[in-house]
Structure formats: C-alpha cells, structure tokens
Structure 1
Amino acid sequence: MHTINTRKAHPDDLEKLLEFEQGIITAERPFDPTLKEGKINYYNIEKMISASDVEIVVAEIDSEIVGSGYARLEAAKPYLNHETYAYLGFMYTDVIHRGKGVNSKIMEALKDWCRSKDISEIRLDVYNDNSPAIKAYEKVGFKKHLINMRMSL
C-alpha cells in the first residue's frame, strides 16, 4: 500500500491540474446538458494557485500527483448564521487511484486549511445523478442540503 501525501499546489503543478480539470469536465458532461460542446474550462487554476482566499491541494503517491481539490472563501448571505464559508471544488482523483482514500486525504487537508481560517461551514455542489461523488462526500461527513432545479425552455 502506498502512502498518500497532500500539499499545497504550486505553479509547477499547472499542467497536471489542467489535465484534471478536463477529467472533471468529461465526467460531468453526462450530468449537465447545459455545458458547451468542445473544450471548456471551469477554473483559472493559475490565478487560484496564488490567491490568498483559495487553497488548492494536491495528493501525491510516490511523488506523482493523483488528486486535487480546492477550498475558496466566500461571503455568506447576510441571513445565515456564519459570515464566511468555504466552497469546495476541483475534486478529482486519477482513475487508477480511485478507491485508495485519495479524496479523503484531500478533504482532510482542505478542512484543516478551513479551520486555520476560522471557517465553520463548508459547502460544495454535486450533480444529483452523480451517485459515486455523492457517496464519496457523504463518506467524509457531508449531508444533502438543497436541491438546485433547472428547466430548459
């Protein structure tokens, strides 16, 4: 069994992180008919790596990057009981390393970063029909909260 290490992403990781982004988009396309055809990007990863309000974490096995995730600080709605929360995204584990606990290690690193920022609320979005992702998030403590609905006209 290999040890999974996590660390803050740095600019030298950009090429691998851009590959992961395309992996996320490929995985999510079947769940989202609103995504444009062709190559798209969700994130400005290069900018996020150096942002003070974002923490991108990578997971490594034998010095190879095998997973990623980020936490981004967001202002909460004024009617909520917390002023700031962390929004998680960019959660990806390389296909050949799934089922090894990579996502759990990334989540722990992101939760530690959130705690260091005095954040008590963490949120993320997941497609309703993406059962494997939902199970992975529930496994690390997330609970379903709100359903976002849409309609094409």
Structure 2
Amino acid sequence: MLVRKATPEDLPVLLQFEQGIINAERPFDSTLLPDPISYYNLEKFITMPDVEVLVAEIDGEIAGSGYARIKKNDNTYYDFEEYAYLGFMYVKPEHRGKGVNQAVIEELKNWVAQQGLAEIRLEVYSENTDAIKAYQKAGFEKRMVEMRIRL
C-alpha cells in the first residue's frame, strides 16, 4: 500500500469518495440538504499549505483518503493554540478491513507532528459505530457528545 499526497489529477476519484461519505452519513443526519451537496472544497484543499490531503493506493488504485487541516483554537481554556482536524476519511468498500484507514491516519499524524502540533480532533456521528471503532483503534478517545433538538 502506498499513501501519498493527493494531486489535482485525483479529483474525479476524490469527488466520488466525497459522495460516498455523504451517502453513508445521510442516515445519521436528517438535516442534510437533498443531493447534490458537497462537504469539502477538495480542489482548494489539495493546494492549501495548512491542509494535507492524502490518498492510499493499492495496486495503483486509489482505495482511501483523508485530510488533516490546521485550525485555530478559539477557546482560551485549552492548552493549545492550534490543532489538526481530521476529515474526509473514506475507504472504498472492497478495500475495507485492509488497514487503509489506519495507514492514512498514521501518515496524517506524522504530518501533524511535523507541523509542531500535538492535538488532533475529528467528528463522527455517535451512531456510526464502525467508524468509532476504527478511530479508537487508531488511538482516538471519545471526548464529548454534541446534543441538539429540532424545533
């Protein structure tokens, strides 16, 4: 498996991955607008210095993706000024269970450490137990549960 920085040539596959993420998350969030929607500006992310977009290849095929984005901490009560936010984590169904997600996360952790940051955060729907298990396997811990009410 090869994990590498995404390029503009990868965009067609990455845009398909984005729709795969949206389709997987629709059952967890009734407030998502009808298709077509987009979560990310992937074309811009690929070129931004404070975002690292990675793809994992298996036998020359892009099998998975993820990004880390440096964000400013707006809360004065934490002991860090900036942190990395992980997103766009996707593995094609036929490649799940092969360590793709773990490989991408490890490379993103390396990039975050190279940026001098010590904090990585992500969001996952509480009902998405498979994703939660994968993130826990990579060392993430549950921190807080967001709650809401629709009026």
Pairing partner for 1:75 from 62, 66, 72: 72
Moved over 6 A (4+): none
Aligned partner of 2:8 in structure 1 is 11
Pairing partner for 1:118 from 116, 119, 136: 116
The alignment yields a C-alpha RMSD, in angstroms, of 0.5
Give the letter aligned to residue 80 of structure 2. H
Q: Give CA deviations for 1:6-29 in whole Å, capped at 9, x if unaligned.
A: 000010000000000000000000
Give the letter aligned to residue 100 of structure 1. K
Query: Which runs of 5 or more structure 1 residues have no equivalent in the other structure?
Result: none
Using the TM superposition, give the Cα deviation of residue 78 of structure 1 relative to its aligned residue in structure 2, in angstroms: 2.1
Give the letter aligned to residue 90 of structure 2. Y
Aligned partner of 2:90 in structure 1 is 92
Q: Give CA deviations for 1:50-88 in whole Å, capped at 9, x if unaligned.
A: 001100000000111000000000011222101110000
Calculate percent identity across the aligned residue pairs. 57
The alignment covers a number of residue pairs equal to: 150
Give the letter aligned to residue 85 of structure 2. Y
Inter-partner Cα distance in structure 1 for 2:127 and 2:16:
24
Using the TM superposition, give the Cα deviation of residue 38 of structure 1 relative to its aligned residue in structure 2, in angstroms: 1.7
Give the letter aligned to residue 39 of structure 1. P
TM-score w.r.t. the length of structure 1 is 0.97
Alignment of 1:1-153 (within 5 A): 4-76=1-73, 77-153=75-151
TM-score w.r.t. the length of structure 2 is 0.98
Inter-partner Cα distance in structure 1 for 2:35 and 2:2:
34
